[in-house]
Amino acid sequence: MKKFISGFVVGALLFGGVSAFAASSLIGQKVQGLFTIEKGGTKVAEAVIINGSAYAPVRAVAEATGASLTVEGKKIIMSSENEKVPTAASNTKTLAELQAERNKIAEQVEKKTAIVSEFKKTQVDNWDVLISENPNSTTIPQWENTKKESEKMLEQLKTELATLQQQLNDLDAQIAALKH
């Protein structure tokens, strides 16, 4: 059903571009029927039938199929949820610029990986050793609090590393798309 609705939307978009030029020929035409568009038993929109062609609100049908719409000038651009709509800014970068940006982020990933590893060894792990080697120390509660703060900082560093890695993956995808 989803493929049918998606196909219907794409067909409507393609035909819509042609019908815009032929709009004057639709004036005065008889509506032959009114169809309900449903998804999973829920009404999404209504389509009118004129001269054997269905006309439905593109946004309502696209949203029902999980697609998003953007309008650029006189173009309506549909994309699925997991597909990003290319913007004018993203299209202006050359392959060389994307590769240079990728190299910078790859360096940052490498540095951040080393920082995370070193921080874990010198901060978190050291507090574990200190606490385990001095079980009778009166400062263990303070050491444990400091260890917890160090663990929070480590998690923040790991989050930053994951963000950089995601940026690297996104750039790899953009580069692959440009190469094809």
d(C-alpha 176, C-alpha 173), whole Å? 5
Residues 95 and 107 in one domain: yes
Nearest Cα to 87, choosing from 74, 105, 103, 71? 71
Residues 62 and 104 in one domain: no
H helices present in 92-134, as ranges: 95-119, 125-133
Domain boundary among 38, 69, 85: 85
* pLDDT at residue 86 is higher than 90: no
Residues 118 and 55 in one domain: no
Chain segment 110-141, per-residue pLDDT in tens: 999 999 999 888 888 888 888 899 999 999 99
Range of the domain at 34: 2-85
Amino acid residing at 113? T
Q: Does the reported pTM lie above 0.75?
A: no
Residues 15 and 61 in one domain: yes
Residues 75 and 107 in one domain: no
Residues 67 and 104 in one domain: no
Amino acid residing at 155? E
For the residues 5-21, what does the mean pLDDT come to?
A: 50
CA atoms within 13 A on the CB side of 112: 18
Residues 20 and 34 in one domain: yes
Could you tell me if residue 120 is left (phi over 0), alpha (psi between -120 and 50 degrees) or otherwise beta? alpha
For the residues 39-55, what does the mean pLDDT come to?
A: 78
Residues 114 and 160 in one domain: yes
Residues 39 and 100 in one domain: no
pLDDT of 162: 94
Residues 81 and 158 in one domain: no
Residue 125's alpha-carbon distances to 108, 140, 172, in angstroms, are: 24, 15, 34
pLDDT of 88: 46
Residues 19 and 49 in one domain: yes
How many separate domains does the chain show?
2
Domain boundary among 61, 85, 109: 85
For the record, the structure tokens of 1 come out as 């059903």
Domain boundary among 33, 63, 85: 85
Confidence of residue 106 (pLDDT cuts 50, 70, 90): very high
